[in-house]
Amino acid sequence: MILLGELALWIALPVGVWGAVAGFVGGRKERGDLVLSAEYSVYAVFFLLILPSAGIITAFVTDSFEYWYVANYSNRELPTFYKVAGLWAGQRGSLVFWALLLSFFSAAAVFTNRTKNREFMPYAVGVLLTISSFFLVVLLFADVNPFERLPFAPADGRGLNPQLQNYWMTIHPPTLYLGFTSFTIPFAFAMSALLSGKLDARWIVITRRWILLSWFFLANGIIFGMRWAYEMLGWGGFWFWDPVENASLLPWLTATAFLHSIQIQENRGMLKVWNMGLVTLTFLLTIFATFLTRSGLIESVHTFAENTTIAFIFLTFMGVMAGLSALLIAWRYPLLKSENQIDSFVSREGAFLFNNLILLGAAGSILWGTLFPLISEYFTGQAMAVGPPFFNRVNLPIGLALLALMGIGPVIGWRRASRRNLVKNFLMPVIVGTLVVGALFLRGVDHGMALLTFGLSAFVMTIIIVEFVKGTKARAHIEGEGHLVALYHLVSRNRRRWGGYIVHVGVVMIFTAFAGVAFNREVVQTIDPGETITIESPFGHEYALTYQGLSSPRGENMVRQAVALMTVERSGRPVEPLTAEKVLYVKWEGSPLTIVGINSYLLEDLYLILENVNDLGGAFENDAAAQRATFTVQVNVFVGWIWYGGFVLTLGGIIAMWPSRGLTRTVSRPKTKTGGKQPALAARG
Amino acid sequence: MRENGKFFVGLGGVALVVTYLIWTGISETMVYYMTPIELMARVEADPTFHQVGVKVSGRVVRGSWTRADDELLHRFSVVDLEDESVRFPVEFRDMLPDTFNDTENVDVVVEGRFREDGVFEATIVLAKCGSRYEATAEELLG
C-alpha cells in the first residue's frame, strides 16, 4: 500500500501534465477528443492521489518508522485517531493532502459540468491540472517527499507534538485546506473565460456555488482555529494576529469582497475587470497562506520547518500566476468593458463597492503589517515590526464601517436610492440603533467603540428582521399561507438572498462578541487550598472560586498530570466546579501543557488558568505539601457569541448553497452592446 | 457624469482614510525588530536606546529559566542565534506560552525594553511551536 502510494505520486505527474496540455490544445484547436482525454486525466489524477494519502495513513497506522515523516510525527502509543490526522500534521503530508483535495474538487467540477458549460471546460481543466501538476512537482522534487526512507528503522517515533493532540487538530486544518483548495475552481473558470473570450457573467453563475463553498470552509476553518486557541492555548484569547492566522484571514476577506462584487456584475454588468482581479488575488492568497506557513520567512508560532527551496518555488509559482493572469486580463480588457455606469453612490452598487474597498483595505493593512518586518528591512536595512496594537487600531474602524454597510447594502435601492427608499428602509433601524446606544450609555457603558458596535449591530439586526417580517407577511397575504409556511417558501425561493441575511446575522453576533472583549475582567492570585478567589462580572455576577487542591490522577504512564479543582459559586449559588491542569508528556521534552477550565453562560465565560504550581514535580507525585499555585481567573464577556454566531453563519451558508430544484433564476443577461459611452440606460431585467 | 465624478471622489476618500489608518497605525505602533547582536551594538552607540521598545529574536539558553514563587516572574537568558557569546537576561511578569522551555533549543521573540541595568524587561514572549522541529536521522536513532 505504501509503495503503491509512492508509485502513484510518480504516475500522477505525467498524467497531470498530459491532461493540462491536452486541455489547452484541445480548447485552442477545438478537438473534442483531446478535451475528453484531459477530463479523464482529471479523474485519473484524483484516483491516483488517493493512493499516496492512503499510503501515508497506512504507514502511520502500521508504525512504519522507517519513513522519515512517520518517525517524526508519530509513535507507537499515539491514538489511531491522531495517526490518521498525521496526514496533515507536518509539511510533507499536508502537501499531499492539499493535492488530494485539489484533485477531488477538480474532479467534482468536471463531473458536475460533464453535460453543460462545455465551452468552458477545456481551459478550466487545463488550468486545474496545471496547478495540480505544480503541487506534484513540489512533492517529488523539492525535498519534501513524504515517502523518504531513513537508512534504518528507529524502534519508535518521536510522537506528535502534544499541542496538536487535541480533537480540533482533526477538524481545523482540513477545514481550512478545503477552503483554500476549493477556491481554485472559480479561479480556473475565470481564467477559462479570459482565454476563451466568453466574458459575460456565465463563469460567475457556474462557479458561484463554489465561491460560496470555499468562503464557507474558510469561515469555519478560521472560527475552529479561534475556538482551538481559546480552549487550548491557555492564553485567554482567540486571536493573536499571528502571521499564519493573518494568512488564513486574507483570502477570506478578499473572497467576501468577491462574493459581493459578483452580484454587481450579475445584476448590472459592471466591475468585470475588478472581479477578474479579485478572483486572481484570492487564489494567490490561498497559495500565499501555504507559502507563509512553510517558508519560515516570517516568525510565527505556526511555522513548519524552514525550507527555502519550497519558499522559492512557491514564490516563483505565485509570481508566474500573477503575471499570466494580469496579462490575460490586459489582453481581454476591451471585452471587459462595463455595461453600465454608476449612477449614484447612494445606491446598492455604491454600498457594495464601498464594502469591497473596505474589505480590500482590511486585507491590505493585514498583509502590510504581516510583511512589515521584511518590507522595512528591505527598504531601510533595519527591520521594524508591528503587532496586535497596529492590527486592532486599523481594523476596528474598518470593521465598524463594514458592519454599517452590512445593514445598508442589502436593502438600499439599485442605481440611485430614492429618498422614499431610504426613509422607508432606514428610519426605524437608525432609531433602534440609537435607542440601544442611549440605553446602554445610561446603564453605564462608556466604551465608545463598543457602544458603536452594539448600536450598529442593532441597526443591522433590525433591518434583517424587518426584511424577514415584510417578506413573510407579503407572501402569507398573497398566497394565503400560514406564516411559517410562507417563511419557508420565502427562503427556499431565493436561498442566496435569505441565506445571505442569515449569514449576516451570524457575522453581527461575532462582531458583538469581539466588542465584548472591552469588558473582560481578570484576577491573578497565588493561593493555598481552602482559599478563595473572587471576581465580579460586568453583568453583576459575583463568582467565588474556592481552591480544593491539586491531584495527580494515575493516567497512562507517558503522561503526568496535575489537576487543580475549584468549587464555584455564582452569585452565592453553587455551580459546576472547574478544573485546570498542567499535563506533561514525558516523551516530549519541554514544558507541560496548560489545560484551561471554562464554565460558559449565555453572556459570559468563567475561564480558569492554572498558571503555575510552585512545586510542579511534587504535584505530579501527589505530594500533599506541593499545593500552592498561581491562578488566573477571567470573565470573558460575550465570547460564546463567536461560536453561536459561527453556527448561525454555517446555517445561512448551507441555505445559500443548497441546490435548488427546478426553476433556477440563472442570470445570464444578454450583453447590451454599449459603445462604452452610452449613458446608463440598460433595462433592468 | 457628474455623479460618477462624485462617486470616484467618494471611493478615493475611502482609500485615503484606509491609507491614513495604516500609515498612522504603523508609525505609532512599530517597534525595532532586531537580533541580540544588533541590540547590543545599538545601545552601545546610543544609550537613549534603552528607553525604546524593541522586539528581539533569539534562543533560550538551556537551563537558564528560573521562576519566582508566589508571583508571576520568570527569568531566563536569551542568546543570539549566530554568536553564542552575545546573550542577555530577560525578566517577564506574565504567563509564558506552553511552547516555551529551556530544555530544548527554543527560539523566542521577546518584546519589551532593554533596561540600563542590562536586563531585558519583556512584555510579550513568543516561543515557536514545536511542530517546526523535525529531527535529523541521528536524533531519531538516539
- In tens, the pLDDT along A532-555 reads 999 999 999 999 999 999 988 876
* Total Cβ atoms within 10 A of residue A168: 16
Q: What is the pTM of this model?
A: 0.91
- Residues of chain B with Cβ-Cβ distance to A368 below 8 Å are 22, 26
Please tell me the distance in Å from A611's CA to the nearest CA on chain B: 6
Does B136 touch chain A if contact means CB atoms closer than 8 Å? no
Say whether pLDDT at A164 is over 70: yes
Helical H segments across A74-201, by residue range: 80-85, 91-112, 121-141, 172-182, 184-196
8-state DSSP, A143: S
- The pLDDT score that the predictor gives to residue A343 is 73
What CA–CA distance (Å, rounded) separates A204 from A183?
A: 13
Give chain A's domains with CATH numbers.
1-165 (no CATH), 211-303+326-411 (no CATH), 412-518+646-657 (no CATH), 520-640 (2.60.98)
Task: Report the candidate in A221, A53, A8, A188 with the shortest Cα–Cα distance to residue A113.
Answer: A188
- In tens, the pLDDT along A367-391 reads 999 989 888 888 988 888 898 889 9
- Average pLDDT (A571-588) is 89
Please, which pLDDT band fits residue A564 given cuts at 50, 70 and 90? very high
- In tens, the pLDDT along A215-249 reads 999 999 999 999 988 987 656 578 888 888 899 99
Say whether pLDDT at B126 is over 60: yes
Selected residues 443-502 of chain A with any CB under 8 Å from a CB in chain B: none
What is the DSSP annotation of A246-290? HHHHHHHHHHHHHHHHHHHHHHHS--HHHHHHHHHHHHHHHHHHH
Task: Report the candidate in A171, A167, A289 with the shortest Cα–Cα distance to residue A220.
Answer: A171
What CA–CA distance (Å, rounded) separates B128 from B110?
A: 12
CATH number of this structure's domain B31-132: 2.40.50.140
- Average pLDDT (A179-188) is 96
Q: Which of B107, B130, B137 sits opposite A161 (nearest CB)?
A: B130
Residues in chain A: 685
- The pLDDT score that the predictor gives to residue A662 is 45
DSSP E strands: which ranges in A335-383?
A: none
Longest dimension (CA), chain B: 76
- The pLDDT score that the predictor gives to residue A613 is 87
Say whether pLDDT at A472 is over 70: yes
- Residues of chain A with Cβ-Cβ distance to B70 below 8 Å are 526, 614, 628, 630
Name the residue with higher pLDDT: A325 or A292.
Answer: A325
Residue B2, exposed/middle/buried by CB under 10 A (0-12, 13-18, 19+)?
A: exposed
Q: In chain A, pLDDT over 90 holds for what percent of residues?
A: 62
Does A632 touch chain B if contact means CB atoms closer than 8 Å? yes
* Total Cβ atoms within 10 A of residue A70: 30
Query: CB B3 to CB A343 under 8 A?
Result: yes
- The pLDDT score that the predictor gives to residue A620 is 86
- Average pLDDT (A125-132) is 96
Cβ distance B70 to A630 under 8 Å? yes
Does B138 touch chain A if contact means CB atoms closer than 8 Å? no
Task: Report the candidate in A644, A650, A606 with the shortest Cα–Cα distance to residue A227.
Answer: A644
How many Cβ pairs within 8 Å bridge chains A and B?
Answer: 184
- The pLDDT score that the predictor gives to residue A665 is 45
8-state DSSP, A87: G
Please tell me the distance in Å from A180's CA to the nearest CA on chain B: 21
- The pLDDT score that the predictor gives to residue A14 is 96
Q: Which of left, alpha, beta for A46 (phi over 0: left; psi -120 to 50: alpha)?
A: alpha
Q: Amino acid identity, residue B25?
A: G
- Average pLDDT (A473-481) is 90
- In tens, the pLDDT along A635-683 reads 999 999 999 999 999 999 999 998 765 444 444 444 443 333 333 333 3
Query: CB B57 to CB A299 under 8 A?
Result: yes
Selected residues 4-33 of chain B with any CB under 8 Å from a CB in chain A: 4, 6-7, 10-11, 14-15, 18, 21-22, 25-26, 28-33
Q: Which of A306, A342, A592 sits opposite B7 (nearest CB)?
A: A342
Cβ distance A559 to A584 under 8 Å? yes
Cβ distance B120 to B112 under 8 Å? yes
- The pLDDT score that the predictor gives to residue B1 is 43
Q: Amino acid identity, residue A358?
A: I
Does A588 touch chain B if contact means CB atoms closer than 8 Å? yes
Selected residues 503-532 of chain A with any CB under 8 Å from a CB in chain B: 524, 526
- In tens, the pLDDT along A66-103 reads 999 999 889 888 889 899 999 998 888 989 999 999 99
ipTM of the assembly? 0.87
Residue A558: its H or E element: none
Residues in chain B: 142
Selected residues 30-89 of chain B with any CB under 8 Å from a CB in chain A: 30-34, 55, 57, 67, 69-72
Handedness of CA A158, A161, A165, A170 (dihedral sign): negative
Does A398 touch chain B if contact means CB atoms closer than 8 Å? yes
Please tell me the distance in Å from A354's CA to the nearest CA on chain B: 7
What CA–CA distance (Å, rounded) separates B8 from A611?
A: 54
Q: Amino acid identity, residue A578?
A: L
Strand partners, A573: A570
Q: Which of A158, A398, A611 sits opposite B72 (nearest CB)?
A: A611
Please tell me the distance in Å from B137's CA to the nearest CA on chain A: 7
Cβ distance B79 to B58 under 8 Å? yes
What CA–CA distance (Å, rounded) separates A341 from A270?
A: 7
Q: In chain A, pLDDT over 70 holds for what percent of residues?
A: 93
Residue B5 Cα distances to A302, A343, A349, A417, A419, angstroms: 46, 10, 15, 17, 21
8-state DSSP, A160: -
Query: CB B21 to CB A393 under 8 A?
Result: yes
Give the residue from B4, B9, B22 with the most A CB atoms within 10 Å of its CB, the best one to mutate: B22
DSSP E strands: which ranges in A571-616?
A: 573-585, 593-595, 597-600, 604-613
What CA–CA distance (Å, rounded) separates A230 from A323?
A: 40
Average pLDDT value for chain A: 88
- The pLDDT score that the predictor gives to residue B82 is 85
Please, which pLDDT band fits residue A299 given cuts at 50, 70 and 90? low
Q: Which of A303, A382, A383 sits opposite B132 (nearest CB)?
A: A303
Please tell me the distance in Å from B5's CA to the nearest CA on chain A: 10
A514-526 in b/e form (b: 16+ CB < 10 A) is bbbbbbbeeebbb
- Average pLDDT (A199-221) is 93
What CA–CA distance (Å, rounded) separates A579 from A566?
A: 6
Query: CB B30 to CB A385 under 8 A?
Result: yes
A593-595, strands of its sheet edge to edge: A532-536, A542-551, A559-570, A573-585, A593-595
Selected residues 262-291 of chain A with any CB under 8 Å from a CB in chain B: none
Task: Report the candidate in A41, A51, A55 with the shortest Cα–Cα distance to residue A106.
Answer: A41
Cβ distance A243 to A304 under 8 Å? no
- The pLDDT score that the predictor gives to residue A670 is 43
What CA–CA distance (Å, rounded) separates A85 from A70?
A: 11
Name the residue with higher pLDDT: B86 or A143.
Answer: B86
What is the DSSP annotation of A322-335? HHHHHHHHHHTGGG
- The pLDDT score that the predictor gives to residue A409 is 87
Q: Which of B15, B32, B71 sits opposite A384 (nearest CB)?
A: B32
- The pLDDT score that the predictor gives to residue A678 is 36
- Average pLDDT (B27-48) is 90
Cβ distance A522 to A548 under 8 Å? no
Say whether pLDDT at A305 is over 80: no
- Residues of chain B with Cβ-Cβ distance to A307 below 8 Å are none
The three three-digit cell numbers of residue A273, written as one number: 475587470
Q: Which of left, alpha, beta for A30 (phi over 0: left; psi -120 to 50: alpha)?
A: left
A379 backbone dihedrals φ, ψ, rounded to 5°: -90, -30
What CA–CA distance (Å, rounded) separates A644 from A641?
A: 5
- Residues of chain A with Cβ-Cβ distance to B7 below 8 Å are 342, 344-345, 350
Any idea which of A342-356, A603-617, B47-61, B86-100 has the lowest mean pLDDT?
A342-356
- The pLDDT score that the predictor gives to residue A359 is 94
Q: What is the rounded radius of gyration, in angstroms, for the C-alpha atoms of chain A?
A: 27
